[in-house]
Structures are given as C-alpha cells and as structure tokens.
Chains A and B, each alone.
Chain A
Amino acid sequence: MIIELGHFAVITALVLAVLGIVSPIVGLKRRDAVWVEVGRQAVTLNFVLISVGMLAMIYAYLTHDYSVKYVYATSNTKLSIFYKIAGLWGGHEGSLLLWAWVLALFCMMAVHIHWKTQPAVMPYLISIESVVLTGFLLLTLFLSNPFERIFPVPADGKDLNPLLQDPAMVLHPPFLYLGYVGLSIPFSFAMAALFSGRLGEEWIKATQKWTLAAWLFLTIGILMGGYWAYYELGWGGYWGWDPVENAAFMPWLVATAFLHSVMVQETRKMFKVWNLFLIILAFSLSLIGTFLVRSGILSSVHSFATDPGRGLFILGFVAFMLLLSFGTLILRSAKLKSQIEMDSVISREAVFLFNNLFFLVALITVFVGTLYPLLVEALQFKKVSVGPPYYNTVFMPVALGLVFLMGIGPYIPWRKASAQNLKDLFLMPSLVALGGLVFFLAVGIRHSYALAGLTVVCFVAVAIFRDFAKISSFWAKREQVGRLQGFLTAYKKNPRRLSGILTHIGVLVMIIGIIFSTIYQTEKILIMKPGDEVGLGSYRLKLIRLYGAQGVNWEAQEGLFNVYKGEALIAQLRPQKRFYTVSQTPTTETAIHQVLMGHVFVTIPEVSPDGTWARVRALHNPLVLWVWYGGGIMGIGVILNILRKTRLKVTAARPQAAAPEGAVSLPRQAREEVLQHRSNRWQSFLNAVRPGRKEV
C-alpha cells in the first residue's frame, strides 16, 4: 500500500511538473500573477510529493518488501540499515528518482531564495526547471520505474553489489547528483536571462554561489569516486580515464572554466555570450553524463539497442534540451555584443581567456576520447577503446599551463600590464622557481613531467605567498596591528579573492600528491609464501601467515603481513580475499598503512585453496594523501567563498524605491535600468505577485 502511495505521489508530481512548465508562461502572456503563483506552489508541492515517493521506497527497504522489484535487486535482509537505505541509489531506477528529488529540492530552494530579489525571471526559472523535472519523471515512471512489483514475491533480496558496500561509494553518487543538479539552477537563470532579455550581470551575481556549491559537490563526488577506486577496487590508483569517470569530469571542467570567466564579465562586462554558452554547456554535459552512465550507452551501443525505448527517450530528451538552450542562445546572441574589447595580451582578461581555452581543450580531449569509440562502433560495427596515453599526452601540458596561469592570473592587472608590473610581480617567483629546478635536478629527479610540474608549483607557491605577505603587511601597517591580524583584516576586506587563492593552494597540494604518488610509485606483484619478504622503497613487507576469516555476509582468506622500516616493525597489515555468500561475488579487500603522507598498500588478489601461497600486489604510494588533502583545502576555500556575505540586489525595484530624486546621482547604467523597469508592463503583475501588493 505504502509503495502505491509513493508511486501515486510521483505520478502526481509529473502532472504538476507539466503544470509548472505551462502556468508561468501563461501568467506572463496574460500578465496574470495568479498563474505564476500556481507555478510556484507546484514547485513546492513537487518536492513534497517526490519526498513521499522516496520515503515509500525507503520504507520498502526497511521492511524488506521484496515484492518491489527494485528493492529485491539491490537489497538483502542481512544488510546493515545504512546500506539498506543506500540501496535506493545503488541501481538505475532508484538513482533517477534521487536525481528528480534533488532537482525538486534545489528548484524549491532557488524559488524561495530568489523570489523577492529576482521576481522578473522567476516565472522563466520555474518553467525551465519544470521542463527538466518532467523529463526525469517521465523517464523514471515510464521507462525505469522503481515502484514496479514482482510476483511471486522472492524470499530474500539479491543483495547490494559488494563493491558498493563502502561508505565512500554510498555517498559518491548523491554528491555527484548534487553537483549535476546544482548546475541546473545557474543554467535555468541563464536561460531565464535569455528569454526575458535581462542579459546584464545580475544572473551571474544571483547564481554565483549556486555554481560554487554545485562545483563543490561535483568535486567531492569525483574525489570520493577516486578514493573508492583506490581503496575498494584495489588498483592502487585513483583515476583511470574510464568513460564513467569522464562523464563526471566533463561538466566539472566546464563548470571550472565558467567560475573563472564570470569574473571577467563582472569586472569588465566582457565574455557575455561566452558565459551563457559555458553554463549551458556545463549543464548539458551533466545531462549527457547522467544518461551516458545510467543508460549503458557509454560502454556499448549494443546494450543501448537492447532497450531501445529508454535509449531513444534519453537521446530525444538530451537533443531537445540542447536544441532549446543553444538555439535560444544563438537567436539572442546578437543582442549581447560586448562593447568592451581586450586591450592587451598581457592582462588579466587574457589570462582568463587562456584559462578558458585550456579548459576547453581538456574538455574536447575527454569528449572525443569518450565518444569516439561509440561513433566507430555505430558506423563500422567495430569496437575500439581509447587508451590512457591519448589523454595523458594532452592533459600533462594543459595541466601545467593551467597551474602556471594560477600563478599569474590573480596578480596581473586588468586591461594591460606594464613591464614594471611584470617585473615586480614575477621576477622573484621566476628566480625561486629556477632555483627550485636546480635543486630538483640535484636531488636526482629526472622525470621530465615531475621536473616541470614541481618547478611550476614552486613558481605559483612563491607568487601566492609573496602576495599574502604583501597584503598582510599592508593591513598590519595601516591598522597598526600584527601581521597575522593584518592578514585576517585582508581576508575580511576581500574574502572572495583570498578564498579563491586558498582553493588554488589546494590545487598545488593536489598536484604535488599526484606527481609523487604516480611517478614515484613502487609496485611489486609476486607470489609469496609465509616467511617470504619483499622490499618496497625504504620499507619491507613480510608475509607471516594465511588463514580464514568470516563476516556477516562474507567469508575470507586473510593474510598477515609485517611492515618493516629498516629493522623496526612499524605495522601489521591484514588484506583479505573476500567472498560474499549471498551475491556469490568475490572482492579483494585492501590493507593500507599510512607512512608520512603516503601509503604502503597490500592486496592479495588470489590465495591458493590450501592456503600455502598467495598472489600479492604491494605498493608504496608516496604522498598519495596529498591528493585528498589538496581536495580538502580546495573545498574549504570554496566553502569560505560561499559563506561570505553578499547582498542580492532587488532587480525589479518597486516604484517608490526608485525615487527619481536619487536617480540623478545614480550611474547611468543603473538609471537606465530603473527607467526600463518603470516602463516595464510586467511590473504591474510582478508587484501583484508580492504579498500585500495586489493591483486592481
């Protein structure tokens, strides 16, 4: 009964989503505030209804209702409560429901937050968000319904994939979805700006924190996926250019480019069309990414063909969204020609331009690498895959270039830098970087990318800390306080700039982690018997014994390893070869000992049936933790950026607020905007939308 209630709630949500598309548009056409209000209420109600659907599913999980097909496929009575709930997004159907739920939640939040400050674009926003929601609900209800029942009712569920029974994996998909869906808000604002013709900077200002939050979630999701692959899959690496990984990476790349290029529009009113293009592209890529991963199209056109309904719907929906958004952009772009043009190649604008260029090159690389095999298969009936060397050759120089720009961009002046500027800013970092290069050569680093990478990191680090020292002492002198206090004052004066730079420091830490943990990784794969030893960098690993172990839903063979540094025993490791009895799947459980910021990492992929020997894969990954520490610092930077106070301007000013006597002193543009609002015929209904301002 509960499941039917949930099902019915989601069906109702679909009807309301369609209403949410239509009614705000009708409201605009007929200048009738009531219709817009209907749309607003539909948004709130949709969230409630989809929540009911989610709760019904969770109820089915907790009560072991295996008459629900999807619950049967992704759960089991033996699972802990945590994984029972996580089963909801452990498969295709449930994860689409989660997508729709997050979308409804964000849409409701956006409407709530921006209703007062951005009333003119709200009807468009509701309508566009409802289009996306309708698409997802159609897909959920008609092509992959999680509420579907089976008969006869199975006695027990098939179990959640053991690989997914891991905390990082449980949280990884929701974070990715928060990121994907979070991008839909800036996208909707951009589309609303296009439709309403309000193409100034306000949509960028309104969506800045949304974009930052979406970017943060996406970053966390990707990093968690990397950690899961490292720890749970046991391949000792965190990134493999897998098409599924690429699907999440593509929107991330564009969102990052967008976060940088909006600053140019804010400060210099340039890149207007470009910014619209980027945010539309970012959200389109998150739609494409979701569908590629969830439809199975990605790895094979054949599986796409096995469910033509789902595949075709997906293709149709993505095509519709692309046509709608890019079509509108092209039709409107003539209006957006920037009056201001770039003054010099040596300026902050140009740095941002190159930043965007690099990100776009990175995107094209990943896009081609991911989709080319699909194209070949569709056209030639051959299967190909694109190897990691393809990605590496492009990514190394692009990443180096981007990191280098990080050392220049925040400091180089807008418009045009003079030779004196450049000397002041970059002479010292360059000299230190040169010194660093000599030092790295002296300590025996020979790998060309490691050398180049570390030298560039030196350059950027010195540029950043030099700037920190300068602003700290500036404020310390001015406020007559200590240097640290001066730094805090500087942060208070310009939190955005400093939190941005903190994010850059995170990137540097991550780059160092990546360089060391990959280029200087030691890997040994061998057969070991109890008593055998293997050297691993400056560590030694000794297999003591092999024995059996047992858990609630698994059995395992476990190995006991001693880790030595010199003669000292520093740790004991117990990797396992597990066998999950319900789902009949084996997994390899990693054992990790942390050394400094690196890892000694052991897996036993195979143990002989009589327990006399094991295949051992042992790794020393120096500084590997810096990859995630760096991610953490990046995250803190972005969170500080989100938490800083901003005041959203009321864009459709009330008539009395735009007092004509003040207008004389207003800058020309603001005055024009006020005049435009006053002549705006929608104003009447916009006033009426606000409570207590009914116009008769």
Chain B
Amino acid sequence: MKSGRKTAIIISALIVLAGVGYLGFGSFGKNLIYFVTPSEVVAFTPEHYGKKVRVAGMVVKDSLKVVPNTLRLTFDLSDGAQTIPVAFEGVPPDLFKEGQGAVVEGFWDADRTFHSHMIMAKHSEDYMPVEMKNAGAELPKKDFFKTLKVE
C-alpha cells in the first residue's frame, strides 16, 4: 500500500471527525442547562436574567392559581429557605400538584417572576430513575426533532 493513500484515508477521516466534533462540542456549553434552587434564583443578579435554568423545589400548598380560560397558571416554588413565584404557560404533567416536588424550566426576569414553559413533576415509581428529593423524572417531553423547527 502506498503511503499517499494511507494519508488520504487518515486525512479524510480526520476532516469528518473535526467537522462533526465542531458541530457537537462547539455548542456544548450553550446546550447545558443548570439546576438551581429557589434560594439561588432569588440571589440572581441582572446578568442572569433571561437565561434558561431549571429550578427544583416544592410546590407550595394553596399557591396554585389557574388563570381562567387560558393555558396560564401561577404557583410558588420553595426550597424551604426561599420561595419564588412561577408563571407557567402550557400543559403541566399528570403528577404535578401542590405539596409535591417539581422541576420547572424557564428563566428569571426583572419582574422577579420565574417564567416557565415546562414542568417536570416528581415521579416516585421505581421504574423511572430514582431522583433526588427535589428533582423529577416525569417529563412532558418535547420530541427532539421539534427543537429543529425554525421559529
């Protein structure tokens, strides 16, 4: 075998790897979503406003309010030390209710409200991965291809 051919094979393989590696890991940091507690959210400074995070906590009893004839609802989320108001729009999962753990995804803003579009409720079943006390596994999952949609 001529060494030129070998080089050609290696180079083309490397180009493919580099291309795909760039695609995946170039945006890796952007695609990480951090889990935070309500206490951390309360301490957020303006540079954190509008950044997507997940907050884990308990849904405070008697705080859940449904805005009539809309998909909006509001509730308070607490970690024991701090409580934050959450404004949610969409379909909450089956296991979402007051007095139980939930994880909400969304962002904190200058209006001191957490704006969320996705709730994950705590799932106690053994089949699903056992979550930490304040995290959840029952996702109202969005199909991944939908993230491709040009919006």
A-facing mask of B11-37, CB < 8 A → 1, else 0?
A: 011001101110111011011111100
A326 at the interface (CB under 8 A from B): no
CA distance in complex: A392, B27 (Å): 11
Residues of B within 8 A of A432 (CB): none
B70 at the interface (CB under 8 A from A): yes
Shortest beta-carbon distance from B101 to chain A in Å: 12
Shortest beta-carbon distance from B23 to chain A in Å: 5
Residues of A within 8 A of B146 (CB): 237, 518, 521, 523
CA distance in complex: A382, B9 (Å): 42
Residues of B within 8 A of A385 (CB): 32-33, 35, 54
Q: Which of A161, A302, A382, A615 makes the CB contact (< 8 A) with B34? A: A382
Q: Which of A345, A398, A514, A518 makes the CB contact (< 8 A) with B9? A: A345
B-facing mask of A314-339, CB < 8 A → 1, else 0?
A: 00000000000000000000000000
Shortest beta-carbon distance from B33 to chain A in Å: 5
CA distance in complex: A92, B107 (Å): 36
Shortest beta-carbon distance from B36 to chain A in Å: 8
CA distance in complex: A358, B12 (Å): 13
Shortest beta-carbon distance from B66 to chain A in Å: 9
Residues of A within 8 A of B91 (CB): 525, 605-606, 615, 617
Cβ contact within 8 Å between A236 and B143:
yes
Cβ contact within 8 Å between A345 and B139:
no
Known: A296-B129, A344-B5, A605-B94. A615 touches B71 (CB 8 A): yes
CA distance in complex: A240, B17 (Å): 25
Of the stretches A133-141, A256-264, A580-588, the one at the interface is A580-588
Cβ contact within 8 Å between A342 and B9:
yes
Residues of B within 8 A of A469 (CB): none
Residues of A within 8 A of B90 (CB): 525
CA distance in complex: A232, B54 (Å): 25
A365 at the interface (CB under 8 A from B): yes
Residues of B within 8 A of A514 (CB): 145
Known: A303-B129, A341-B6. A237 touches B142 (CB 8 A): yes
A350 at the interface (CB under 8 A from B): yes
Shortest beta-carbon distance from A460 to chain B in Å: 19
Known: A299-B130, A365-B24. A345 touches B12 (CB 8 A): yes
CA distance in complex: A586, B92 (Å): 12
By beta carbon, the residue of chain A nearest B23 is A393
Known: A240-B143, A341-B1, A393-B24. A353 touches B9 (CB 8 A): yes
CA distance in complex: A215, B6 (Å): 32
CA distance in complex: A506, B133 (Å): 43
Shortest beta-carbon distance from B97 to chain A in Å: 9
Cβ contact within 8 Å between A449 and B148:
yes
By beta carbon, the residue of chain A nearest B91 is A605
Residues of B within 8 A of A293 (CB): 129
Cβ contact within 8 Å between B143 and A238:
yes
Residues of B within 8 A of A299 (CB): 129-132, 135, 137
Q: Which of A236, A387, A398 makes the CB contact (< 8 A) with B32? A: A387
A239 at the interface (CB under 8 A from B): yes
B-facing mask of A364-382, CB < 8 A → 1, else 0?
A: 0100100010000000001
Known: A342-B9, A343-B5, A613-B69. A240 touches B27 (CB 8 A): no
A164 at the interface (CB under 8 A from B): yes
Q: Which of B28, B56, B94 makes the CB contact (< 8 A) with A585? A: B94
Cβ contact within 8 Å between B8 and A345:
yes
B-facing mask of A516-532, CB < 8 A → 1, else 0?
A: 00110101011100000
CA distance in complex: A344, B12 (Å): 12
CA distance in complex: A306, B130 (Å): 10
Residues of B within 8 A of A606 (CB): 91-92
Cβ contact within 8 Å between B23 and A447:
no
Residues of B within 8 A of A244 (CB): 128-129
CA distance in complex: A276, B66 (Å): 59
A200 at the interface (CB under 8 A from B): no
Residues of A within 8 A of B21 (CB): 361
By beta carbon, the residue of chain A nearest B97 is A586
By beta carbon, the residue of chain A nearest B25 is A368
A233 at the interface (CB under 8 A from B): yes
B47 at the interface (CB under 8 A from A): no
Shortest beta-carbon distance from A638 to chain B in Å: 25
Cβ contact within 8 Å between B28 and A390:
yes
Known: A365-B24, A384-B32. A527 touches B70 (CB 8 A): yes
Cβ contact within 8 Å between A73 and B126:
yes
Known: A299-B135, A585-B94. A237 touches B125 (CB 8 A): no
B150 at the interface (CB under 8 A from A): yes
Shortest beta-carbon distance from A611 to chain B in Å: 15
Residues of A within 8 A of B87 (CB): none
Residues of A within 8 A of B126 (CB): 73-74, 91-92, 161
Residues of A within 8 A of B93 (CB): 605
By beta carbon, the residue of chain B nearest A230 is B143
From B30, B54, B71, B132, name the one whose CB has the most chain A CB atoms within 10 angstroms: B132
By beta carbon, the residue of chain A nearest B32 is A384
B140 at the interface (CB under 8 A from A): yes
Beyond the given A237-B142, A392-B148, A518-B145, please list 5 additional residue pairs across the A-B interface where CB-CB is below 8 A. Answer: A298-B129, A303-B131, A345-B12, A357-B13, A368-B25
- Would you mind naming 21 contact pairs between A and B with Cβ atoms under 8 Å apart? A293-B129, A296-B131, A300-B130, A353-B13, A357-B17, A358-B20, A383-B132, A389-B147, A391-B144, A392-B147, A393-B23, A394-B24, A397-B19, A398-B20, A521-B143, A527-B69, A527-B70, A585-B94, A606-B92, A615-B71, A615-B91
> What 7 pairs across the A-B complex have the smallest Cβ distances?
A237-B143, A518-B145, A383-B35, A390-B31, A296-B130, A240-B141, A299-B129
Binding site for B on A (CB under 8 A): 73-74, 90-92, 161, 163-164, 229, 233, 235-244, 293, 296, 298-300, 302-303, 306, 341-345, 350, 353-354, 357-358, 361, 365, 368, 372, 382-394, 396-398, 401, 447, 449, 514, 518-519, 521, 523, 525-527, 585-588, 605-606, 613, 615, 617
